[in-house]
Structure 1
Amino acid sequence: MKRIFLIAAILCSSLMVLQSCSPKGGGAAQTVVKRGDVTGNWVLNDITFEGIPQASVKSLFGEGAYTCFVGSTWRLTNSGNGSYSLPGGGACAAKTQTIYWSASVPDQTFQFKKLYEGDKAKNVTEGYRLVLSSATKESLTIKSPVEYGNSTAYIVLNFTAAAK
């Protein structure tokens, strides 16, 4: 009888431990962004900052002032080929940059590398890895991590779908 009681106690304890470790329902569900959510034509409408003063950010993606990207259009095809076009104006030069991009669902990242005349994507070793924050048919938010002090801060890129 003691043996049955001991086995029942162990089973109950195991079930309680397993139950406490299982995911809880009813909480905020994390949105998983897929590659297909990112594919399309986007306009970068707004750039905000998390954990870093705006004045500390001097450039973005090696192109000069981050403000040059506001109003830029990004074309992201399903094949991974793409480009972004800076509108120009003021101290900003108009420019179109060819890129090769990808999205990783497991780690929720958006990567791209710049391609220049004659480059093959597989031979380009430098690029940018950003965090896919959210994506719908109408909007896309990507965060560029930057070191600031002893922590990671973010430059937040807020896109809307381009008019068709």
Structure 2
Amino acid sequence: MKKIIVLFGAIGLLLSSCSVSKVAREKRNLLSGTWILEDVSYENNTGNFSSILFNDAKDICFEGSNWFFRDNNSTGRYTIAPSSLCAGGDRYIRWSVIDRDENYTSQLQFKFIDAKNKDISGGLGYRLNIASLSATDMTLKSNNQVDGESITIVYNFTKK
């Protein structure tokens, strides 16, 4: 009998340590759905910038892109419109929300997968700070270095 109680206690402890926090769950629910990336801008530095985002396409290609997040299986995609500067199409992702302690911003993390949900990025991915998130608007930020100077890339979304 003691062994059964200890076994159930260990299983309960294991399950609770793997669960998603309440804050992360709330943010996952808010993220679920389709978003339009309205614009990409830069903070903490002066000048004109252009960058390749997520090792994929130029920043201008992402403006107007559709992002879809499915919260029941943590998959999604973003779609870039084709143009002379941009290789259009769907990019499939697996995503999650990292809820850090109260001293840090929560983060959206994602990695690339194929249409059959298999990892194609070798386990590498991206983390963006969730600066703000509501039912209609979202701002994500990533901190980067350019020639030794700090710069923040800002992604402003609206919910479709």
TM-score by length of 2: 0.72
For 2:62, the equivalent position in structure 1 comes to 69
For 2:157, the equivalent position in structure 1 comes to 159
Q: 4+ residue runs of structure 1 moved beyond 4 angstroms? A: none
For 1:89, the equivalent position in structure 2 comes to 83
Q: Alpha carbons of 1:54 and 1:65: their partners in 2 closer, same or farther (altered >3 Å)? A: farther
Q: 3-state DSSP class of the match of 1:112?
A: strand
Q: Alpha carbons of 1:94 and 1:123: their partners in 2 closer, same or farther (altered >3 Å)? A: closer
8 Å contact 1:57–1:66 — kept in the other structure? yes
For 1:103, the equivalent position in structure 2 comes to 97
What are structure 1's unaligned runs of at least 5 residues? 1-31
Q: Alpha carbons of 1:62 and 1:38: their partners in 2 closer, same or farther (altered >3 Å)? A: same
Q: 3-state DSSP class of the match of 1:132?
A: strand
Deviation string, structure 1 residues 39-79 (Cα, Å, up to 9, x no partner): 22100011111124563432111112110001100000112
2:16 corresponds to 1:37: no
Number of equivalences: 132
8 Å contact 1:82–1:100 — kept in the other structure? yes
CA distance in 1, matches of 2:89, 2:28: 26
8 Å contact 1:52–1:148 — kept in the other structure? no
2:132 corresponds to 1:134: yes
For 1:58, the equivalent position in structure 2 comes to 51
Q: Alpha carbons of 1:64 and 1:121: their partners in 2 closer, same or farther (altered >3 Å)? A: closer
What are structure 2's unaligned runs of at least 5 residues? 1-23
Q: Alpha carbons of 1:34 and 1:63: their partners in 2 closer, same or farther (altered >3 Å)? A: same
CA distance in 1, matches of 2:62, 2:37: 7
Q: 3-state DSSP class of the match of 1:55?
A: coil
CA distance in 1, matches of 2:118, 2:89: 20
Higher strand share: 2
Query: Aligned Cα RMSD in Å?
Result: 2.5
8 Å contact 2:41–2:153 — kept in the other structure? yes
Code of the residue aligned with 1:89 in structure 2: it is S
